[in-house]
Amino acid sequence: LKAGLNGERLEQKGKRQLEWAEAHMPVLMLIRRELEPERPLAGLRIGAVLHVTKETGVLVRTLKSLGASVTLAGSNPLSTQDEIVAALSQEGIHVFARHAETQEEYYSGLDAVIQSSPQIVMDDGADLHALIHAKKSEISVIGGTEETTTGVNRLRAMEREGVLRYPVIAVNDAHTKHLFDNRYGTGQSTVDGILRATNLLLAGKTCVVAGYGWVGRGIAARLRGMGAKVIVTETNPVKALEAAMEGFDVRRMEEAAASGDIFVTATGNRGIIREEHFALMKDGAVLANSGHFDVEVDVKTLRGVSKGSRVIRENLEEFTLMDGRRLYLIAEGRLANLGAAEGHPSEVMDMSFSNQALSVVHLKRFKMSPKVHSVPPEIDLRIASLKLEAMGIKIDSMTESQEEYTGSWEFGT
């Protein structure tokens, strides 16, 4: 059964995808309906660099409904869904992105966002924030948001060096973002990317997950849930201990390299899987990355130590090493969940993007200092409550006596 007619226009396909996402993003839709009458973003120019997916489409439509004009570029050359570009462009949103765009096109998208003189900038990975800061000229920006761990780390480095020129709300750090999006969203969508690219059986395989942050935790848990034996590698002793007590086999990469059937990196750091590891790997090992940038698997070296490569399936490149062993790389070593699948499901992006929308409203309403700020806790809690409500879950509230008990130091043994 195929949705739509053959030869149907791309934008119609995109509109149906947006409709599907909207039906699964109840919190963001409620925020849209609630704030639409007062148009809190009236006249505001927003520049956004986000993965151009159906969920981002729902966010951008929401910002527009609240009065903003939005210029959007893609956050990764492989993550753009062209039908969403077509649908949004038709609705008056300026989109500069194309699936499988070149590096030059990627940067010209960012440039187009900067040329739109945005007052608020929304970013995923901080390339846009970095580029704006690299320009010495006057800027129109009053504030920004940042979606992901890597981006927040970069912005904190800018703050430490005293170069940050406007306030940025670290959306990633909201509880209703990283505890859900990074863990369950990346957990599921990474497995989705591995399966779409390879269609291999996970049960009984040995999977090596590099990094046990929220993303690594999610990926390791989901791979285990599918029957894989999971090895975790870490540099942080506390995280390594946590992984060990969760029952994962914790080892060094040089030890794990020879055992793994499937490798997934999620560290946010570079050179995690490199030449000495390629040398130890089994014939047929699969390599995937779920960190923001394509620096975790050393693809350049892999190319250099291979006698040839070919694309064997969509988003899967086979490298033949000098000794004849073959290694398989998913989505060029870029984000496997967005390059080989569709990114996180709508239900989880519902919370991440509700944080984005309410953070933008907050930036417009309140003057903030040029620092990295947390999402206001009342926004975080409200999103959790709305999500519970949408899921039909009711929770208890404390009695007066309990409120008194938790707020007091006098009650003891």
Tell me whether residue 53 or residue 116 sits nearer to ligand ADE (CB atom): 53
- Joined together, the tokens standing for residue 336 give 């496997």
Q: Can you name the residues that pair with 288 across neighbouring β-strands?
A: 264
Beta strand 316-321 pairing with 306-313: antiparallel
- Nearest residue to 52 via CA among 23, 95, 22: 95
- Nearest residue to 53 via CA among 312, 264, 335: 335
In the bound complex, what is the minimum distance in angstroms from residue 343's beta carbon to ligand ADE?
Answer: 3
In the bound complex, what is the minimum distance in angstroms from residue 267's beta carbon to ligand ADE?
Answer: 17
Tell me whether residue 261 or residue 342 sits nearer to ligand ADE (CB atom): 342
Tell me whether residue 14 or residue 343 sits nearer to ligand ADE (CB atom): 343
Tokens 């291979």, located at residue? 306
Closest-approach residue to ligand ADE (CB): 343
Tell me whether residue 44 or residue 341 sits nearer to ligand ADE (CB atom): 341
Tell me whether residue 53 or residue 359 sits nearer to ligand ADE (CB atom): 53
Chain residues binding ligand ADE by CB under 6 A are 50-51, 53, 55-56, 338, 343-344, 349
In the bound complex, what is the minimum distance in angstroms from residue 51's beta carbon to ligand ADE?
Answer: 4
Q: In what order do the strands lie in the sheet with 168-170?
A: 94-96, 69-73, 45-49, 120-123, 143-146, 168-170, 372-374
Tell me whether residue 128 or residue 256 sits nearer to ligand ADE (CB atom): 128
In the bound complex, what is the minimum distance in angstroms from residue 11's beta carbon to ligand ADE?
Answer: 19
Tell me whether residue 256 or residue 351 sits nearer to ligand ADE (CB atom): 351
In the bound complex, what is the minimum distance in angstroms from residue 254's beta carbon to ligand ADE?
Answer: 31
One-letter amino acid of 109: G
In the bound complex, what is the minimum distance in angstroms from residue 76's beta carbon to ligand ADE?
Answer: 9
Tell me whether residue 184 or residue 248 sits nearer to ligand ADE (CB atom): 184
